[in-house]
Structure 1
Amino acid sequence: MAILDRQGRLFGKFSILDIGAIATIVIVLLGLLIVPGNSGSSIAQVLTAETKTVQVDMNVRGLSAIDPLNLVKVGDKVKILIRNQPRGEVTVKKVEIATPKIVAAKADGTPVYFDDPRAVATSQSDLAITLEATAQITNDGAVFASEKVKVGTSIDIEGPRYIIRGSAMAVRY
């Protein structure tokens, strides 16, 4: 008995084209489950990821607002945009507001810090905002609606009266 017969069947039972099609489907399925895609996490990682409460510290530099104390409030539910894509809602847990500082040297060389008069004149302030939400935790870090959040990630928050752009300073879970 020959390995291939005249009709292209292996051992007279299996068509080479059918075997090729089945092998292609198996390889594609393995690729989807094992190999990471553009997001950096494979389907297998996302399916096995555990969901935890995640806190993200967001740094905002030079926010131009007349009254930043009454703009973002603790307890607000705001929309989060990560890399300019909507990714759900988060809760504001903490807001720290500071006026940008400048440094000057005394006659003896010791530094003196005081509020930047340009920032005060233009109503600019720096904010440190802590956001909290549930996210999936993979071996690559926290994933909000299929988007990884790491230190330096561009984050926007949108409330009823504002859109504030900043970046992640810390991610805790």
Structure 2
Amino acid sequence: MAILDSKGRLFGKINLLDLGAALVTLLVIFVVSSSILSSLGVAQVGEKLVPIEVDLVVRGLNVRDPEQLFNNGLKKGGKTNVIIRNQPYGQIEIKSVQQLPRTVNVFQPDGTVKELPDPKTNNFSTDMLLTLEGKAKSTESGLVLGSSKVKIGMPFELEGFNYNFNATVIDIRLKDQ
């Protein structure tokens, strides 16, 4: 019995074209499934999550009653939704919220400069310092929240039930474990 007969069948049973098509189909299924699994993070089993703290500054947030915002939305121990570079990260815990005083630089007669409270009557502008804490992937090029690297100067969008505003990262720290 010949390996290949006159009709192109292997051992008289399997057509070579059918065998080639089956192998190509299996290869396509393998490539697609491996790319889906790697995008889901299953292939990244060895990556290490580390606890971090991120300090954010908010300048000139227009809000009628900052105390209501701090009591109902942004409060210590609460959670806020974070969007980094238009990519939703999810919820992250709020470690602290501190309202910063509005000040202005005033030149003195002797040439020095003093920082004094801003005398403006506009009470609707608020500055804040927020500290968020969560877990990030540690890579060679920095810390990664979700799929976005976190660097000083990056904008974060914070969203909750009654607020949506931007803040800027001013510090990133690895939290003591």
- Please indicate, yes or no, whether the TM-score normalized by the shorter chain is above 0.5: yes
1:48 alignment partner, SS class: coil
2:67 alignment partner, SS class: helix
- Worse-matched range after superposition: 105-114 or 83-92: 105-114
Q: Please tell me the root mean square deviation across aligned C-alpha atoms, in Å.
A: 2.7
Match of 1:73 in 2: 75
Q: CA deviation at 1:112?
A: 2.4
- How many Å separate the matches in 2 of 1:128 and 1:86? 22
1:63 aligns with 2:65: no
Which of 112, 119, 128 is equivalent to 1:117? 119
2:77 alignment partner, SS class: coil
Q: CA deviation at 1:117?
A: 3.3
1:87 aligns with 2:89: yes
Percentage of pairs with the same residue:
32
1:70 alignment partner, SS class: helix
- Worse-matched range after superposition: 104-113 or 132-141: 104-113
Runs of 5+ in structure 1 lacking a partner?
1-24, 33-42
Q: CA deviation at 1:61?
A: 0.8
Match of 1:49 in 2: 47
- How many Å separate the matches in 1 of 2:44 and 2:61? 36
- 8 Å Cα contact 1:46/1:136 also seen in 2: no
**Size of the alignment, in residue pairs?**
136
- 8 Å Cα contact 1:99/1:124 also seen in 2: no
TM-score by length of 2: 0.67
Q: CA deviation at 1:116?
A: 2.3
- How many Å separate the matches in 2 of 1:145 and 1:105? 46
What amino acid maps onto 1:63 in structure 2?
L
Runs of 5+ in structure 2 lacking a partner?
1-26, 35-40
Higher Cα Rg, which structure: 2
